[in-house]
């Protein structure tokens, strides 16, 4: 059985995928669980506390740097490390999508070869909980609790949520409003959608965190453990449509991102727990609103 994937040629695989897609309209969706109950995506839970006690604190206790920014960046590095991080059991995002397609004809096991038992459990559980309605929700729906529990982070929202939850658990920040979850969109994607007034067009973006340290706001790219200082006088409370505020990250030098929503404090998860909610935020800054409220951004290049 372990060599079954090798025996399936491209034509057969494409046929299976085609049948799976067609069967979608004839297959009843059972036990939809997505969004039945709104949970806070950055809550400190027993799972988060256990991870902090058993993994984070031992590393931080022996870390020589003690200033707040250095410790925050160290926390981010621990979270993305392949041994200590929340991505230890991660799998490629495409595997979730293929699993969803094939599982419609009960062939999901075909994409479960050569992955660990923990990864198989994650694939099955997250598919059941998040992908029945909109497959892409697996990118945005998991909470910090589940990301840390499964150690299956594979995207920016996963890292940002985990980061905020563990920082709260450690008690690194003085005030709740000094640590905030941030949602941003790609400037060129937003411009294209705005020009066509296309509310169905997919807009890409990036989630990260901002922290206030010594009266200055610091941008922390939790996916890459990098930081930069925001301009003097910056206030997250002033971000809102229609005026854009551009930002860039060293890891993505050719991409301009635009602020779209910033949590009011470290307990505000911005409600971007689905693809539909996130696309609304990219267009309007509100998870419930689909109208374009931001002006076109000039100077993308």
Which tens digit of pLDDT belongs to each residue from 53-104?
A: 999 999 999 999 999 999 999 999 999 999 999 999 999 999 999 999 999 9
- Taking the alpha carbons at both ends of the chain, their separation in whole angstroms is 51
Which tens digit of pLDDT belongs to each residue from 131-175?
A: 999 999 999 999 999 999 999 999 999 999 999 999 999 999 999
Tokens of 279: 């696309």
Closest CA to 277 of 288, 267, 265: 288
Helix, strand, coil shares of the chain, percent, nearest 5, are 45, 15, 45
- Helix and strand counts by DSSP (H, E) for the chain: 11, 6
Query: What band does 299 get if pLDDT is binned at 50, 70 and 90?
Result: confident
Query: What band does 300 get if pLDDT is binned at 50, 70 and 90?
Result: low
Which tens digit of pLDDT belongs to each residue from 98-125?
A: 999 999 999 999 998 999 999 999 999 9
Please state, rounded to an integer, the average pLDDT across all residues of the chain. Answer: 88
**Residue 35 pLDDT:** 42
Cα–Cα distance, 269 to 181 (Å, whole number): 6
**Residue 5 pLDDT:** 33
Closest CA to 301 of 253, 233, 250, 266: 253
Distances from the Cα of 94 to the Cα of 16, 90, 203, 229, angstroms? 16, 12, 18, 34
Query: What band does 34 get if pLDDT is binned at 50, 70 and 90?
Result: very low
**Residue 29 pLDDT:** 30
* Position 31 pLDDT exceeds 60: no
Give, for 113, the enclosing helix (H) or strand (E). none
Question: What integer is the mean pLDDT of 173-182?
Answer: 96
**Residue 68 pLDDT:** 96
What predicted TM-score, i.e. pTM, was given to this entire model? 0.87
Distances from the Cα of 135 to the Cα of 16, 97, 161, 193, 259, angstroms? 18, 7, 20, 22, 26
Q: Which distant-in-sequence residues (6+ apart) come within 8 Å of 190 by Cβ?
A: 203, 258, 282, 283, 294, 297
């Amino acid at each position: 059985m372990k060599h079954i994937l090798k025996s399936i040629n491209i034509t057969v695989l494409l046929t299976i995928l085609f049948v799976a897609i067609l069967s979608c309209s004839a297959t009843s969706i059972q036990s939809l669980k997505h969004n039945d109950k709104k949970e806070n995506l950055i809550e400190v839970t027993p799972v988060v506390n256990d991870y902090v006690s058993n993994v984070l604190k031992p590393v931080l206790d022996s870390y020589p740097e003690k200033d707040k920014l250095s410790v925050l960046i160290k926390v981010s590095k621990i979270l993305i490390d392949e041994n200590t991080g929340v991505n230890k059991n991660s799998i490629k995002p495409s595997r979730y999508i293929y699993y969803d397609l094939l599982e419609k004809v009960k062939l999901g096991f075909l994409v479960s070869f050569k992955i660990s038992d923990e990864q198989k459990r994650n694939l099955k559980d997250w598919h059941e909980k998040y992908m029945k309605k909109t497959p892409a929700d697996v990118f945005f729906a998991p909470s910090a609790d589940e990301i840390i529990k499964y150690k299956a982070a594979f995207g920016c929202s996963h890292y940002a949520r985990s980061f905020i939850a563990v920082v709260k658990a450690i008690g690194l920040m003085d005030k709740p409003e000094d640590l905030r979850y941030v949602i941003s969109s790609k400037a060129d994607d937003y411009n294209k959608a705005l020009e066509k007034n296309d509310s169905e067009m997919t807009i890409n973006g990036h989630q990260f965190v901002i922290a206030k340290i010594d009266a200055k706001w610091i941008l922390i790219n939790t996916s890459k453990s990098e930081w930069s200082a925001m301009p003097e006088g910056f206030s997250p409370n002033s971000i809102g449509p229609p005026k854009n505020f551009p930002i860039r990250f060293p890891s993505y030098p050719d991409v301009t991102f635009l602020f779209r929503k910033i949590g009011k404090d470290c307990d505000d998860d911005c409600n971007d727990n689905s693809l539909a909610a996130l696309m609304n935020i990219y267009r309007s800054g509100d998870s419930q609103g689909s109208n374009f409220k931001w002006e076109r951004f000039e100077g993308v290049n």
